[in-house]
Structure 1
Amino acid sequence: MDKHKSSRLQPYIPNDNLNNSLGAIRIFGIEMIEDELRPHLKTVLTIIQERKKGAAEQVVVSGILPILAISLRRRGPLTLLTVELVAELAKESVVRKGFGEAGLVNAVLSVMTSSNQELLLHATRAISRMSYDSLTQQEQLLRHGAVPLIISTLLRFPNNEALEGVCLLALCNLGDMGEAEEAGLVWERGMSPRPEESVFHGVAPQSCGFGSSVTLVRVCQWAHGQCSVSIEVFQRCSSSFWNLHGKKRTTRHFSISSLGSCSNLYKMIKYSVNNVPRTQSLRTRMFHTFL
């Protein structure tokens, strides 16, 4: 079930600008006329960012999602603006449900080989939002190679903190281990005794003020072109709990279930705790991927 919750919506007042822009995108989108499309894409982006009630539904009814997919695949001057719009639309479950049929899942993944870090930021954010608490979207993205693309991006740009944080959250969401974006997860690099391993831990302060949720992500390049990623979540642990269990974790028994592969691109293995409720303090997931 898709449990992603959007930000609080404001009362919607029918907006002729939105209707006009959606209509113009339908007309000019097939030929991708940049000068005609750019202002209308900006208008739709602005209105969606304002989170007005009913705007997302209008986008769905308008039928522009396949046009946005075409724009991303063509990798032209409108790619950056288009992927930013897609990332904003991905906040809305009513829109996100149509991404697969419209070809937007593959289209977003297709831009992940870019060297433009701003474009990668928006594309990874779209992937993260698509997969949060949605098993259907998670499995679709996994089948199409989202994990190796995100890991490659994470390793290519180690000095871009914003991109690093979005990549880590996307990996957590793809493993069904994510925190809500609104939780404000803050990522820091940890220390590892193994030079081939990168360690990240993210902390989301709880509203009660005395506890926190700690997410630990380990990325290990154990062979040329091959990488493993493990994700562990310690729910609502205090600082003393983190100091204790960060050094010595409780042993758990796991069952292994393969969720398939995509040609020679990647193999993903998902671990789940045997007979232990998800409310327990420790949960883990692991990805084994070929970059």
Structure 2
Amino acid sequence: MGHPNVPLSYKQARAHRNKHISNRLQPYTPNDNLNNALGAIRVLGVELIEDELKPHLITVLANIREKKKGAAEQVVISGILPILALSLRSRGPLTLLTAKLVAELAKESVVRKGFGDAGLVTALLSVLTSTNEELLIYAARAISRMSYDNCKSTKQQELLLRRGSVPRLVAILLRFPDKEALEEVCLMALCNLSGMAVAEEAGMIWERGVPVRPGECVFHGVSPHTCGFASSVKLIRVLQWGPSQYMVSIEDFQRCSSSFWNLHGNKRAVHWFPFFNLGSCSNMFKVIKFSTRNIPRTKSLKT
């Protein structure tokens, strides 16, 4: 009951507003289906029994892909990340499914910041020596996503670089020259590791260029024009300068459309100029030298 002197229209408006607020402030109810799956993985995970673990991994993957509210936080609290690392290292029947899950989890900053302590960084690097193309795609995608937000992932990047991520990615490019999907994700990972971040949403198109030196591979990626005026261009050169030793150079340019140059009265034929990141001009050009000579084929990744 309300006050008899309060207008009915005011009562209705207030009731509608209170209903809207109550809906907005409803407490979060944990996802029991996800909790059960995470609990089962935690209990059964050490033995890595495929028939028992697979449906639970699929449940977790579905919740993360659908961006269910609180799913990422539940994964962190559950403590299953070391079990996922164990599954990757085992190279068993669950490894591919685990790599898919880890690649999705790498999108979530609250989850990926625990990858190092859980052993997932070294586990992903061990997967990069696999011959399974699909497995390599998901492992490289996870590494790319871990390195994308470089202002928050500096430690992750340093660990990946120290443990030999770049020579492994280069080796994949040379081993699978005609696999476009694998090539694309490896090139994006190299850019993100170098600090020249490439967003998956950018829609960058990668092509092989013409090498100018013996033993060199050239790749260039072009993103669509922004507002019809300019596009970002990445130029990656991989040069073998010794047995199992490579130099990787990455350049970042901005290419302007002819309409932009005509608009500003610039008659130059070349429409290329260096692209400077605000506050960090050092990112305009990166040259990285890495060696794969001392990288063992075993699970130990110490160089």
C-alpha deviation, 1:192, in angstroms: 2.0
1:24 aligns with 2:25: no
What residue is the counterpart of 1:289 in the other structure?
290
C-alpha deviation, 1:51, in angstroms: 1.3
Local SS of the residue matching 1:24: helix
What residue is the counterpart of 1:138 in the other structure?
157
What residue is the counterpart of 1:92 in the other structure?
108
C-alpha deviation, 1:245, in angstroms: 6.4
- Number of aligned residues: 255
Check whether the contact 1:189–1:200 (CA below 8 A) recurs between aligned residues: yes
- The structure carrying a bigger helix percent of its residues is 2
What residue is the counterpart of 1:194 in the other structure?
213
Q: 1-side partners of 2:283 and 2:269: how far apart?
A: 15
For 2:126, give the aligned amino acid.
S
**What is the aligned-residue RMSD (CA, Å)?**
2.5
Local SS of the residue matching 2:47: coil
Q: 1-side partners of 2:269 and 2:34: how far apart?
A: 52
Q: 1-side partners of 2:87 and 2:58: how far apart?
A: 14
- The structure carrying a bigger strand percent of its residues is 1
Identity of aligned residues (%): 64
Check whether the contact 2:229–2:257 (CA below 8 A) recurs between aligned residues: no
Q: 1:71 to 1:280 in 2, by over 3 A?
A: closer
What residue is the counterpart of 1:244 in the other structure?
270
C-alpha deviation, 1:243, in angstroms: 7.0
What residue is the counterpart of 1:102 in the other structure?
118
Check whether the contact 1:135–1:176 (CA below 8 A) recurs between aligned residues: no
Check whether the contact 1:196–1:221 (CA below 8 A) recurs between aligned residues: yes
1:162-208 deviation digits (Å, cap 9, x = unpaired): 00000000000000012212112111111123231111111112441
Greater RCO (CA < 8 Å, at least 6 residues apart): 1
What residue is the counterpart of 1:259 in the other structure?
none
Q: 1:230 to 1:278 in 2, by over 3 A?
A: farther
C-alpha deviation, 1:287, in angstroms: 1.2
Check whether the contact 2:215–2:240 (CA below 8 A) recurs between aligned residues: yes
1:168 aligns with 2:187: yes
Unaligned runs of 5+ in 2: 1-27, 262-267, 293-303
What residue is the counterpart of 1:6 in the other structure?
none
1:91-146 deviation digits (Å, cap 9, x = unpaired): 00000000001111011111111000000000000000111122221111001111
Check whether the contact 2:173–2:186 (CA below 8 A) recurs between aligned residues: yes
> 1:1-291 alignment to 2 at 5 Å?
14-132=30-148, 133=150, 134-235=153-254, 237-239=255-257, 244=270, 277-278=278-279, 283-291=284-292
Q: 1-side partners of 2:176 and 2:243: how far apart?
A: 18
Q: 1-side partners of 2:224 and 2:284: how far apart?
A: 18
Q: 2-side partners of 1:243 and 1:56: how far apart?
A: 50
Q: 1-side partners of 2:58 and 2:269: how far apart?
A: 47
The answer to which of 225-234 and 192-201 deviates more is 192-201
The answer to which of 152-161 and 45-54 deviates more is 45-54
Structure index of larger Rg: 2
The answer to which of 219-228 and 117-126 deviates more is 219-228
Q: 2-side partners of 1:139 and 1:60: how far apart?
A: 22
Local SS of the residue matching 1:205: coil
Check whether the contact 1:234–1:282 (CA below 8 A) recurs between aligned residues: no
Q: 2-side partners of 1:181 and 1:76: how far apart?
A: 29
The answer to which of 276-285 and 159-168 deviates more is 276-285
C-alpha deviation, 1:226, in angstroms: 1.4
